[in-house]
Amino acid sequence: MKTKGQGTTGVVLIIVFVIILLVALVIYGSYKATGESPQRAFRGGTEGVRLSILDVPAQINQGQAFDIVVLAENKGEHRIPARSISAVMSNYQSFNILDGMKTNDIALDPGDATEIVYENARFTAPVLSEDIPQSFSIGICYPYETMTKVNEVCLAPSKTDTLCKSAGEKESENWGAPIMLSSFKQLASVYNTGQEYIDLNVKLEFKQTGSGNIYSPDAKCNALAPSDANKIKIKSIILGVDSFDEQEIKLMCGSNIIQLSNRDGKTQGSLRCTLRQRGIRTDLMTPLTIITEYIHEQQLSESIRVMPVM
């Protein structure tokens, strides 16, 4: 025989189970529609890693020990693996440092920070005058990525704009990063009735928004060359439930490399692509995701007054 309390408990358990089931269905629907795990809303921003030199003394005595500390803060939205940041200090020998190359020992998730430390630096070179500051610079280089989402790409085999506009500018949002998609234009589409696919013609425009220099992701931080400068690569495209890799992107866009150039005071570049979406019978709107990759390089510098020891 069930008591009144036991009956109430059973009803509560059923309600909890139904809520859990509905949440699971929503999550599954999001995964099925986009082909990737659901993500939080993008924070946005124009930075990848924010760099700063911490608390360098304005004046030291010749031979006095001090630490040079670089704070690296991941202000963007791409995860940086451990040992992927390359820090190289110039004229490190003058500061009695044995190795001018350092890296990050831990991974940096968005919002994380770490310190890259040159310990026990000592200026041991001859000091001709205390009125001439001694300077050093640190070059920081790391790979980074930008994810961009276009929420409503229009696929309209009916060739009408009843459901959505099949041509024109579409709104997009970017991860916080120094490279962003600045414009996504949907051009005329070609619908193949017999095979039920649409060739979606689009124009992608990217620009650099943060400071520093951009290089091809295929370059090496210890051997950056002018031929690698101002190049970004489209790593992947997801249109609806279809995912396109680098080789497919090369075929659809002619190349997966975008060469950036300075135009009207902005570093930017564009690419035209024809994306094929199969199994389209009726008009629909679908999301599109683009991931671009590149190397970001920045320079830090600092000066110190060194007092000679008599």
Give the pairing type, strands 284-307 and 59-61: parallel
Residue with tokens 């495209």: 237
Cα 36 to its chain centre, rounded Å, is: 17
Number of folded domains in the chain? 2
The verdict on 148 and 78 lying in the same domain is: no
Cβ atoms < 10 Å from Cβ of 215 = 24
Residue 3 lies in a domain: no
What pLDDT sits at residue 24? 43
Percent over 70 (pLDDT), the chain: 85
pLDDT tens column, 233-270: 999 999 988 899 999 999 999 999 999 999 887 899 99
Residue 175 lies in a domain: yes
Say yes or no to pLDDT of 14 above 60: no
The verdict on 221 and 91 lying in the same domain is: no
CATH code of 94's domain: 2.60.40.10
The verdict on 120 and 156 lying in the same domain is: no
pLDDT tens column, 29-74: 433 333 333 344 556 788 899 999 998 999 999 899 999 999 999 9
pLDDT band at 4 (very low <50, low <70, confident <90, very high): very low
Distance from C-alpha of 57 to C-alpha of 54, rounded to nearest angstrom: 9
What's the chain's average pLDDT? 85
The verdict on 210 and 74 lying in the same domain is: no
pTM of the model: 0.81
What pLDDT sits at residue 9? 59
Residue 185 lies in a domain: yes
Does residue 299 contact residue 139 with C-beta atoms inside 8 Å? Answer: yes
Q: Which residue has the higher pLDDT, 16 or 127?
A: 127
Residue 33 lies in a domain: no
The verdict on 242 and 220 lying in the same domain is: yes
The verdict on 117 and 55 lying in the same domain is: yes
What pLDDT sits at residue 82? 96
pLDDT tens column, 167-222: 899 999 999 999 999 999 999 778 776 667 888 899 999 999 988 999 999 999 99
Q: Residue 269 sits in which domain range?
A: 144-297
Q: Give ∠ CA 129-131-132 in degrees, rounded to 5.
A: 75
* Number of H-type helices and E-type strands within the chain: 2, 18
Does residue 112 contact residue 85 with C-beta atoms inside 8 Å? Answer: no
What pLDDT sits at residue 38? 37
